Structure 1
């Protein structure tokens, strides 16, 4: 079945749409969103190929497989996406690993600044400013807020969160403010609204960063978790953004990304890469949760299903999920003037503890290479987290 998926992608790339349609019929009748991990994977890729076929031909009604796929989807419904994200955060280590490791890198960067500062009186609190790209619902920050609230004297914390929905930004700021108040932490939140377009506008983002005020006594940390890959359509512009961030003189920049090459310009090669990557993802979900788990079905069909549709069905300005491997990010970060910061042995043990306590399946593994943390399933790396200065 997986070979048929790849053959279908090749047929679409050669514009043999009738043959591709016949394969989609076969794939759709022999896969299910409620079977084993392979069935579910094939179902998601078949749905994405069907979308690709519809967008490729001007006579879409000829190829539309109404009996197997709903033409309308909920990929743009904010409430459904939020629900799938929260489920993803609960049932997999992916988001927690990225957040935990990035938070530890921020804490270690802040501590290094504190040790190097000889001018601050011992009882004067530290001022921390975090610039978080695409803060979403802010689930990364309560653990870090708890960690710094336990220090004496407790630092002041300011978070500038970017997003393209002002209501979500405000609700996120309110939740974080209430949590900070419960900890007795001096906290302020600033929403940085970006243009609400389908395509991330790097020029607009660079302009908006000029509005971010960095106070003289603040330690700046920049958080880029599962965000920068959306800007890879124009690599030169992305490098300009990285240099802009460098000019803000952050103490630490955290970078977390999917460890995959879903930005391949050749369509069948991109599908092949995505098949390998999401095979591991779906197998990890099967090893963790029963087949009838509502959360598992939601994460597979909404969160990862949305990614697969974007990678397979979209091209040009509409495609956002342009993941690339760590070695590409390493080249770009170094070219912008950054250098790797080694994470501590405590960060390694903390990440391993997370996997052991919350996700007991033996398939998850952690590797550290070239100053970078890699979370994987068996032999397939899935996410990388690194720290830069």
Structure 2
């Protein structure tokens, strides 16, 4: 770990730098040449924070923020330094008298404040369009649902955190292609979220698309308040002749908190509804660790890999990438690093943790089909394969779960249960 004396900027021997003065620019020091040194500086700053040495931590994070290696517009390394330094500065400012606006602009320091719905929806659309991660989850979950409801005339899909409903048009089209046009199945969808206007717009779009496919379709918007997931059968109407599918794509981690009982209650509530299939997609990361240093290093590894993937997929000055990193990934980093307790919302856990939770609630894993694997491979080879670049990697675990990562780092997992 770097000591306070590591940040001396010159002057007489042994003279200490004023902690409130800016540190020298990085081109005057060898620390900022390879990525491994920058990574160590971020970890050293996090260690100082974990030890409540906020004066030394402030000096180091000020150095990082004022360096040329910290930029939202630079390469992937610059962007990692930028977002993690901001998050560390915000955490330090919450424990000290340091003003978070000293180095952070008003726009960047608002990373932990509420964001407009339109910006959030746009960033999710970019996430779906410019990376394979969401498409991979949607495609694999849809194939599992399609196989589970094969030949059924009455289908009920409960989709948690529906947002724009980007997942569902491909599934509707696949169901329509397999159905008798004179007797199409009836699809009823319960879409959950936190904004009724968004849900209603999504329902209207899906209704219009289903009609164009010749499908009978109903959409039921459902606002889910905190704690309301514990007794789902009392708030979701079920019919005995329906085949039920439950979709939890990038949703379950939102139920995690200081008390993990919410997840157990949710899963038992789902189990009591007797679904034919439950699809689960989550980040492959451990951001729910109560130990700050372990959580910080896990997040640093995860987002460094994500930003490397974006660097290869998108051009340097891509507006889509900038919006995605600011509104989506940047805000996640701020939450993971700067927040604690009930205030912290981004609590991703690794796949093995979800396996334990599902099994303890009475679920068994359902193998993902060979066709689902073929589709996932086609997605990556057709849209995200770059000549000469060893990039996105697909891994299979026990035929029941797929992992999508960048190079050798898994980033997302998808599985199905019953």
Q: How high is the TM-score relative to the length of structure 1?
A: 0.92
**Which of 302, 306, 309 matches 1:277?**
302
State the match for 1:117 in structure 2. Answer: none
CA distance in 2, matches of 1:170, 1:209: 22
**Which of 176, 184, 190 matches 1:160?**
190
CA distance in 2, matches of 1:67, 1:188: 46
Q: Larger C-alpha radius of gyration, 1 or 2?
A: 2
Does 1:312 find its partner at 2:337?
A: yes
Deviation at 1:70, TM superposition (A): 3.6
Q: Which ranges in structure 1 are unaligned for 5 or more consecutive residues?
A: 115-124, 196-200
Deviation at 1:225, TM superposition (A): 0.6
Deviation at 1:68, TM superposition (A): 9.4
Check whether the contact 2:101–2:109 (CA below 8 A) recurs between aligned residues: no
**1:66–1:140 CA distance, 2 compared to 1 (3 A):** closer
Deviation at 1:237, TM superposition (A): 2.5
Deviation at 1:324, TM superposition (A): 0.6
Q: 1 or 2 for the larger relative contact order (CA 8 Å, sep ≥6)?
A: 1
What SS class does the counterpart of residue 287 from structure 2 fall into?
A: coil
Does 1:363 find its partner at 2:416?
A: no
When the two chains are superposed, the root-mean-square deviation of aligned CA atoms in Å is: 1.6
CA distance in 1, matches of 2:321, 2:131: 10
CA distance in 1, matches of 2:98, 2:230: 39
**What pairs up with 1:248-287 in 2 under 5 angstroms?**
248-287=273-312
Does 1:26 find its partner at 2:63?
A: yes
Deviation at 1:56, TM superposition (A): 2.2
What SS class does the counterpart of residue 218 from structure 2 fall into?
A: strand
Check whether the contact 2:231–2:266 (CA below 8 A) recurs between aligned residues: no
What SS class does the counterpart of residue 221 from structure 1 fall into?
A: strand
Q: 1:323-357 CA deviation, whole Å, 9 max, x = no partner?
A: 11110000110000000100111100100000011
State the match for 1:174 in structure 2. Answer: 204
State the match for 1:214 in structure 2. Answer: 238
Deviation at 1:72, TM superposition (A): 2.9
Deviation at 1:60, TM superposition (A): 3.8
Check whether the contact 1:47–1:69 (CA below 8 A) recurs between aligned residues: no
State the match for 1:247 in structure 2. Answer: 272
Deviation at 1:230, TM superposition (A): 1.4
What SS class does the counterpart of residue 300 from structure 1 fall into?
A: helix
CA distance in 2, matches of 1:367, 1:140: 22
What SS class does the counterpart of residue 317 from structure 1 fall into?
A: helix
State the match for 1:374 in structure 2. Answer: 403
**Which of 297, 314, 319 matches 2:322?**
297
**What pairs up with 1:79-98 in 2 under 5 angstroms?**
79-98=118-137
Deviation at 1:67, TM superposition (A): 6.1
Check whether the contact 1:75–1:306 (CA below 8 A) recurs between aligned residues: no
